[in-house]
Structure 1
Amino acid sequence: MDFDYAHYMLNEAKKKGEDDKDPGSCFGMSSPSREAYRGQLAEIFNMNRTRILSFKNKPPTPVELIPQSHSKSTCSLHHSKPTKPPRRIPQKPEKILDAPDLVDDYHLNLLDWGSTNVLAIALESTVYLWDPSHDATSELVTIEDELVTSVSWAPDGRHIAIGWNNSQVQIWDSTANRKLRTLRGGHISGVGSLAWNNNQILTTGDMDGNVVNNDVRIRDHVVETYRGHTQEVCGLKWSPSGQQLASGGNDNLLHIWDNRRSTQWLHRLEEHTSAVRALAWCPFQGNLLATGGGEGDGCIKFWNTHTGACLNSIDTGLNSIDTGSQVCALLWNNNERELLSSHGGFTQNQLTLWKYPSMVKTAELTGHTSRVLFMAQSPDGCTVASAAPDETLRLWNIFGDPKVAKPAPKAVREPFAHLNRIR
């Protein structure tokens, strides 16, 4: 930047400073160009110095947006804003029904609540229908010396699929009380799990680990067979989109199948250490699946079914090799971000409500005296039915009405009408 000064220092200043006792005095020398350069810098600096942190014009007088006279009242109004009261969760069931001879088998699925508000329950060789709006019970079908192993309502709430221990699956019209057809040939062992993808495709899982898609509209109903489990398929659930199927087995495996990938599983997940029966797809996040492990596991796990990643694993605090605790069933609350689990083993056989995603316990409901194997949710999403081998079916207003807080009704024990013990 200043070659002229450098040249001057190397030549003239060196001569003048040779006899100078102060070796640094030469740096006090200057050149004409350096003096001109310094003058320009001083002028620029003085000009800019007057602009730093200065206003061109005087700033305007601040305007009082909120008058001081109203500030206190405004704050009091803000703090007195009413907050949403916590939802009251009744600790007692609103109704208790007798369910004699309910089979005590972790691998079966014997309870389902249809979209037309009719509850189906299988008791040994008979399927019963209970209409809560009329408190009326009717017998749909009985096959002597055969065991009902699964029941599942079609989305229309009129047709119901029934799996039997003899490997057959029947489709019934509940309104006409008439059998429409029997599906044969898809299985050679008992059908313990059922899942409708829509009103036409029924997925069935058997005791040998096979999962079959059946098109109930055509004669040759078997359209796909998924093979991945080596033991009983005890849980089947289609995602809300109808694109992914979750299957859980007694082999401790969880499979995610995609109906766009033919019969090859999308994910094979092995993190559970016991049978995987409890499956629940999240209603507000389509690729979120909750699963529960059986005896010796006792964990609830959350999965991203697009990637196969385990998002979280919660030890329910009930699992122990000594006590043999297990997660039997899972249900999401359709109105709040909550998950309900039912438990068995040497526990209180309780229903536990969890806040998602913190998984903080919100409530625990007790009353069953044996493991709560089955749960079903009413069409309005408010009431949960739980059934256990203690031969009771209990109705809980656990999810409640999100808009109206209902008082807890007094528990009443009533007979499950027309249910005769089958010996």
Structure 2
Amino acid sequence: MRDVAFAPDGRTLATAGHTGTVRLWRADRADGPTPLGEPRHAHDEAVWSVAFSPDGDTLASAGYDDTVRLWKVPGPDASGGGLRPLGEPLTGHTGAVWSVEFSPDGHTLASAAQDDTVILWNVANPAYPHRIGEPLTGHTEGLWDLAYGPDGRTLATTGADRSVRLWHLPQNVLTDFTNPVTSVAHDPTGGLLAAASTDDGLVRLWDVRRPGRPRPLPRPLAGHEAPVLTAAFTPDGQTVASGAEDGALRLWDVSDPARPVAAATLPDAHPGGVLTAAFAPDGRTLAT
């Protein structure tokens, strides 16, 4: 499994599979998640990322087959369940698509790919999506992750070229990294950006309240003993979850981001490594 995402109401969970499938789960049952319908064959190769639209009606999936797909999401109580494709696959990338995310207003979908580009798609009507302008270029070794700021006017991207780019007017490049950056996440207020890096086992925090002048915070989240593969904020922005290649999952109290505190550690969350993490909207459940 490569990615997980909660629907905005917290009742549905989507999972992405290495076999090219996407699956929905009823996630709010007291006896644990239960499948909603059968797995959907979504891409010809592995599915690397899934994301719900803000209204929860549409799911986007990104594939190793260089495409993005949009799906109509049934309600959690729909009999039979199952995803329904919305139109044809979105094409334009020339490399595996690693990450997709909707803008906060749900009108735009951003996709990041191995071809060093970000493509923006107009999905205001998800049945008739179309590309917006030319691809965003600047990264040089493939993109791995992206994250919208809560105002929808800032987009953070990261990749193997050891940088994080903030797409705004003007664009900013955060280069305080010595190793490839695997994951980026905005806190819900838009004030903090977390970036997970390989090899050094750190998650760095940036103050991005002024997009034109981002400022690194002096104390990174240090404690992992293996490359960090994912980072995610709770909806209240007070906690960061980070997962590493050695299977460890850590929680960090960042209520005072200048003095982050290690709150909890699960050393063996996943034997094969923690690839992704997502908090439910109420912040009480974490999927990995």
Q: With structure 2 as the length reference, what TM-score do the two structures score? A: 0.79
**2:85 corresponds to:** 222
Amino acid in structure 2 at the alignment position of 1:255: I
Q: Which of 107, 114, 128 is 1:250 aligned to?
A: 114
Deviation at 1:334, TM superposition (A): 2.9
Residue 14 of structure 2 corresponds to 161
Work out which of the two has the higher radius of gyration on C-alpha atoms and give 1 or 2.
1
Matched with 2:191 is 337
Q: Map residues 169-180 of structure 1 onto 2, 5 A cutoff.
A: 169-176=22-29, 177-180=33-36
Pairing 1:396–2:252 present: yes
Does residue 276 (structure 1) correspond to residue 136 (structure 2)? The answer is: no
Q: Sequence identity, in percent? A: 29
- Indicate the SS of the match to 1:184: strand
- CA distance 1:365–1:335, change in 2 (3 Å): same
Tell me by how many angstroms 1:392 deviates. Answer: 0.6
1:350 matched to 2:202? The reply is yes
Contact 1:301/1:310 (8 A) holds in 2:
no
- Equivalent pair of 1:172/1:180 in contact (CA under 8 Å): yes
- State the partner residue of 1:116: none
Amino acid at match of 2:216: K
**Structure 1 residues 350 and 180 mapped into 2: Cα distance closer, same or farther (>3 Å)?**
same
Q: Does 1:301 align with 2:156?
A: no
Shift of 1:317: 4.2
1:325-372 per-position Cα deviation (integer Å, ceiling 9, x unaligned): 211111223346222211114xx2211111223222212221112221
Query: What are the residue-to-residue correspondences of 1:85-96 with 2, within 5 Å?
Result: none
Query: How far apart are the structure 2 equivalents of 1:243 and 1:155?
Result: 16
Contact 1:202–1:215 (CA<8 Å) still a contact in 2? yes
Residue 310 of structure 1 deviates from its aligned partner by 5.6
Which residue of structure 1 lines up, in the alignment, with residue 281 of structure 2? none
> Comparing both chains, which one has the higher relative contact order based on Cα–Cα distances under 8 Å and sequence gaps of 6 or more?
1
**Is 1:202 matched with 2:59?**
yes
Question: What residue is the counterpart of 2:48 in the other structure?
Answer: 192
Provide closer, same or farther for how the CA distance between residues 407 and 268 of structure 1 changes in structure 2, counting only shifts above 3 A.
closer
Structure 1: gaps of 5 or more residues: 1-147, 319-324
- Deviating above 6 A after TM superposition, structure 1's stretches of 4 or more consecutive aligned residues are 419-422
Q: Are 2:130 and 1:264 aligned?
A: yes
Q: 1:412 to 1:233 in 2, by over 3 A?
A: closer
**1:292: which partner in 2?**
158
More strand, by proportion: 2
CA separation of 1:189 and 1:412: change in aligned 2, threshold 3 A: closer
Q: Which residue of 1 aligns with 2:216?
A: 361
Per the alignment, residue 376 of structure 1 pairs with 232
Give the structure with the larger helix fraction: 1
Please tell me the root mean square deviation across aligned C-alpha atoms, in Å.
2.8
Residues 1:311 and 2:171 are matched in the alignment: yes
**Partners in 2 of 1:329 and 1:265 — Cα distance?**
24
Pairwise CA distance, 1:174: 1.9
- The change in CA–CA distance for 1:420 and 1:373 in structure 2 (over 3 A counts) is closer
**Secondary structure in 2 matching 1:370:** coil
1:236 aligns with 2:111: no
The answer to whether the 8 Å contact 2:66/2:93 transfers is yes
Following superposition, the deviation at residue 175 of structure 1 comes to: 2.7
Structure 2 residue runs without a partner (length 5+) = 75-80, 274-288
Tell me how far apart the structure 1 counterparts of residues 47 and 260 of structure 2 sit (CA, whole Å).
Answer: 41
Is residue 327 from structure 1 mapped to residue 181 from structure 2 by the alignment?
yes
Q: Aligned letter for 1:292?
A: T
